[in-house]
Structure 1
């Protein structure tokens, strides 16, 4: 575990090390998952746990490839074709082999995380690429990946019936980068869950719509 991921302040940038740590935490949840819970609903989502983990891997892949072209598009994503298994299912670029089982799915998630970690580490900070939450820089894509990984790992843990909470420093950096208007003074993890429509906060009802802002801060 890197020192920056363990002890970095909430005001410091989101880094490739943060993404690496978050993916390792997510994979550990997948490896602890009960074998009979993969078709269970993932938290408050309509998707089951397998679909949610597959979606998370696709997210990490998506963020990595946006930074790949020499001149990334700014008005739309790199045109990998999307598909859905069913009308309300997650849109995906690829599927994990179901015959490979949960261990294979964990490898897919690890591989996609490694691609993004490499791209964030090696892409110059001035590069910009498209995202629906705002044209973003490498740190913004790292922050989006951190948000998706932490929150969807929560969804998975709920579906699996497992207790799980990420390091507060990771949550604080995601909030600072993507949710600058989030309320201060509450537990960072609960605030991130509130900001993404997963829970209530004291005096603040659960959000029914929400949006992160991945545009560069400077």
Structure 2
């Protein structure tokens, strides 16, 4: 039988749930005193980066929430920074709850997006600055944010992090259709998001994804 020429399967809500759960399980191994370290190449510390990731997942869920989702703007929550140079979020974790509470905020925000992707009809469209998108597109964005920000966090926290290749392949196919297709999926996703060099491809200094539906 000849090898299949079919491309990666579409992203699903189950993929998003898997990505979030893998990230949370990895981050639970972090030393309790490490959360104020810088997160990889980011300017934020690790605590702020988890808040930012949680905020991304929450915001993507919120975009799909209204009966008539906005097509020209974000749902107008107030996004604000809690410190100089920190990310502007609508979601912030209570510092008194410690890292366990921080990761509970991440897990809950991810669950909101999983639920919205599962229950929102595929015909629905909602605004994103990188292109009006559909529920599968927002799932792919959530997975991408989770995988690459967990990479940033793992660098800062001293943890190992290599997500499943099939998840990376589906995200690349959905959001980065022009990315190299002959290189390993995880290094390619890091390259596509400006975090690494790739053989034959210099490290990107500017990058973006394409959230518009493929069909």
Query: What interval of TM-score do these two structures reach, taking the shorter chain for normalisation?
Result: over 0.9
Q: CA deviation at 1:10?
A: 5.4
**Which whole-Å CA distance do the structure 1 matches of 2:207 and 2:49 have between them?**
19
TM-score by length of 2: 0.95
* Equivalent residue for 1:11, pick from 8, 11, 18: 8
CA distance in 1, matches of 2:202, 2:80: 34
Alignment of 1:175-190 (within 5 A): 175-190=172-187
Any idea what SS the aligned residue of 2:9 has? coil
Task: Choose from 196, 206, 211 the match for 2:208.
Answer: 211
Mapped contact 1:10–1:170 kept (Cα < 8 A): no
Mapping 1:28-47, distance limit 5 Å: 28-47=25-44
1:65–1:78 contact (8 Å) kept in structure 2:
yes
- TM-score of the two chains, using structure 1 as the length reference: 0.94
Say if 2:54 and 2:91, in contact at 8 Å, map to a contact too: no
Residue 138 of structure 1 is aligned with which of 113, 118, 135?
135
Q: How big is the alpha-carbon RMSD for the aligned residues of Structure 1 and Structure 2?
A: 1.0
Among 191, 195, 205, the residue aligned to 2:192 = 195
Q: Is the 8 A contact 2:53 2:149 kept in 1?
A: yes
Q: Which of 89, 93, 100 lines up with 2:90 in the alignment?
A: 93
Match of 1:75 among 66, 72, 75: 72
Task: Measure, in 2, the Cα distance between the counterparts of 1:94 and 1:153.
Answer: 18
| 2:169 alignment partner, one of 158, 172, 181 | 172
Give a deviation string over 1:18-55, Cα, whole Å, max 9, x none.
01000001101221001121000001000000000111
CA contact (8 A) 1:13 1:173 kept: yes
Give the structure 1 partner of residue 3 of structure 2.
Answer: none
Runs of 4+ in 1 over 3 A off after TM superposition: none
TM-aligned CA deviation for residue 207 of structure 1: 0.7
TM-superposed deviation, 1:87:
4.6
Q: Tell me the matched-pair count.
A: 210
**Alignment-derived partner of residue 5 in structure 1:** none
Query: Which residue of the other structure, out of 93, 109, 114, is the alignment partner of 1:112?
Result: 109
